[in-house]
Structure 1
Amino acid sequence: MLLNIKELNKTFGDLHVLKDINLSVGKNEFVAILGPSGSGKSTLFQLIGGNQTPNQGEILLNGESINGKTGFISYMPQQSSLFPWRTVLENVVLAAELNGKPDYEEAKLWLEKVGLAEFANSYPIELSGGMKQRVSFIRALLSKQNLLCLDEPFSALDEFTRLKMQKWLLSVWEENRKSILFITHSIEEALFLADRIYILSKRPAQVKAEIKVPFSRPRDESLLETNEFFLLKQQIFQFIREELSE
């Protein structure tokens, strides 16, 4: 396994946010985390990224502890977080720039792959929401870390743009196959994108279920209309509803 999280606990004073979290992400695997708002999903990413330290437990990357250590993962937040005074190209190379010498030619190649080559010298204010998220994702991809942590990257987009971005993400992932840990509130999004899904409880968050997604790859939007997809979506919805009603 690339990432192993063992018996992770996190508190803020008297507030117990994460309780005995165990989860893993394999090499080339796409793993989603589902859970209610306020359950500590973003705190989990802060711990993996080293911006917070756990009270108990261990975070292992390639078998080495990264508790409290930064610079080992790539991170894409809910908002694109592009610097308005930097061009698209300058934003794309930012993470690589912070870690050494940026490769502008590789950045241009990726912008061409994702249909943004003509916007390389544009500024973020000139881009749509979906275009900004593509730039943000390529920036994370070019940081050269083995694990990408994506924190609800499409939550602010309208439904049509969101589906378009999900399909785009899958196409890029199929080509690149980096390991991804993906936070979402959407059962449909998790099922469409992931190989496995962890379901978290309300706070203090615990892993209540782990689901292996049975659908083959590559996937397209026709999957969303199948009976198998609908039934699994309903099963997960019922599980989460029962958990929240306890």
Structure 2
Amino acid sequence: MLNIQDIDKSFGSLQVIKNLSFEIKEGEFVAIIGPSGSGKSTLFQLIGGISALDKGAILLNSEDIQLKRGIIGYMPQQPCLLPWRTILENVTIVEELQHKPNILQARAWLEKVGLASFEDAYPNALSGGMQQRVSFIRAIVSDKPILCLDEPFSALDEFTRLEMQAWLLSIWEKHRKSILFVTHNIEEALFLADRIIVLTKRPATIKKEIIVPFDRPRSEDIRHTESFHALKQQLFNYLKEEKDDAYVD
């Protein structure tokens, strides 16, 4: 599926990513966590074709996708909905730009996520969680082979965030899209992902990879188990080591 091969990226004299390699399999949900400024958003820019590599390769189904835009589905931290377009028009905008909007598919997805009655409404009529659902549906109806989600719930209050995590998991478990998910929230990564990649401080490379051992489908109950808390503490310690090291240079 997605193969990141020994990539480097610098901006002038600042090296952000160094010798980074990992793979995402078909239908896998992979979370990336790391210290602030460790290059997580830069990685998405490289995968999305916005920025060029200094070294290495990014392959999607064995095809080199460096500097190729429109290949992946992308969901940013903020919903980024156009206020002058209806919810239905916001959902179909990516396909519209590619001259192939699928209105029936968009309506079907809005129905699945409980937003069918809002298709003619404008974004300001929706709550933050509802807007994030629209943003996710916009990414998924573009029918790309992999979705890159960049801290999509970071701006939400805690209750809405937990609700959106459960919602995303229920949608993913039904459709099994390949997802690369960036988050600062360790508990979120553990609850959602099959595998967690821990990045070092800048320049980012892989510190640890952890296979999440919890069975699917998952329920909220796992958050209260001893094994969940033990893994959460282990991941916290990995991140703390990177943060502490940053002050020793």
TM-score bracket for this pair, using the shorter chain length: over 0.9
SS of residue matched to 1:180: strand
Whether 1:210 aligns to 2:217 is no
Cα deviation for residue 99 of structure 1 reads 2.1
Q: TM-score, normalised by structure 1?
A: 0.98
1:63-212 matches, within 5 Å, as 63-212=62-211
Counterpart of 1:36 in structure 2 is 35
- Count, aligned residues: 245
Cα distance, 1:95 vs structure 2: 1.1
Q: Deviations over 1:16-47 (max 9, x none)?
A: 00011111110000000001111110000000
The one-letter code matched in structure 2 to 1:124 is P
- Deviation above 2 Å: which 4+ runs of structure 1? none
Q: Which amino acid letter does the alignment assign opposite residue 141 of structure 2?
A: L
Report percent identity of matched pairs. 62
Displacement after TM superposition at 1:97 (Å): 1.3
Deviation, 1:243, is: 2.2
CA distance in 2, matches of 1:136, 1:99: 18
User: Deviation at 1:244?
Assistant: 1.8
Consecutive unaligned residues in structure 1, runs of 5 or more: none
Residue matched to 1:20:
19
CA deviation string 1:126-169 (max 9, x = no partner): 11000000000000000010100000000000111000000000
Task: Name 1:4's counterpart in structure 2.
Answer: 3
Q: 1:22 aligns to what SS in structure 2?
A: strand
Please give the root-mean-square deviation of Cα atoms over the aligned residues, in Å: 0.7
* In 1: Cα distance, 2:35 partner to 2:96 partner: 36
What is the letter of the counterpart of residue 196 of structure 2?
Answer: I
Cα deviation per residue 1:209-230 (whole Å; 9 max; x = unaligned)? 1110000100111110111101
Question: How many angstroms does 1:100 deviate by?
Answer: 2.9
Measure, in 2, the Cα distance between the counterparts of 1:121 and 1:228: 45
Where 1:155 maps in the other structure, the secondary structure is coil
Structure 2's unaligned 5+ residue stretches are none
SS at match of 2:7: strand
Q: Answer yes or no: is the 8 Å Cα contact 2:35–2:242 preserved in 1.
A: no
Q: TM-score, normalised by structure 2?
A: 0.97
